Amino acid sequence: MHKPIDLEKLTPEQLKSLLANAERLGKTATANAVVKEMAHRRIATGQEYRALAWNQQRVREIMKRFKDVASAVPGNQRTSYTEAGGLRIGGPKDDPEHLWIDTYCAIKTALTNATFGTEEDFVRVIRPFVVER
């Protein structure tokens, strides 16, 4: 039986090495724990966040179909697509918060008011379609 690794005692270089090994060996739980520790220390970058199954690149892929629909609605009064909601407002690529996942698409017309967004690891309907007659 292996003794658990105390991630708090590892240097940033050791954490990066452990993350690379965990990814190579398919140890998802270890990789997630290392990224979480790096984020807690504010040293994780986009490179480290890519180890997570749910990252900004994956969000873009999932949200594309919603973005396409929202962008095609004539007279849409809402922002069709944004990645700048909530806690992530730009920042340089090496900023630990650069890849915060808080993305949404929205449609608002006289007959429809809908918002689709990401939260944690799924896409959900924030505000369902409403048709007023």
What does the pLDDT read at residue 104? 80
- pLDDT tens for the chain, residues 1 to 133: 678 899 999 999 999 999 999 999 999 889 989 998 998 888 988 788 888 777 777 778 888 888 998 999 999 998 888 876 544 434 565 665 554 546 788 888 888 888 777 654 444 444 444 443 3
Cα torsion 46, 47, 51, 53: sign:
positive
Distances (CA, A) of 34 to 15, 20, 28, 68, 106: 6, 10, 10, 35, 35
The structural domains of the chain, with segments of one domain joined by +, span 7-49, 56-127
Distances (CA, A) of 96 to 24, 40, 59, 116: 23, 9, 17, 25
Query: Token pair of 85, please?
Result: 């909601």
pTM for the structure as a whole: 0.51
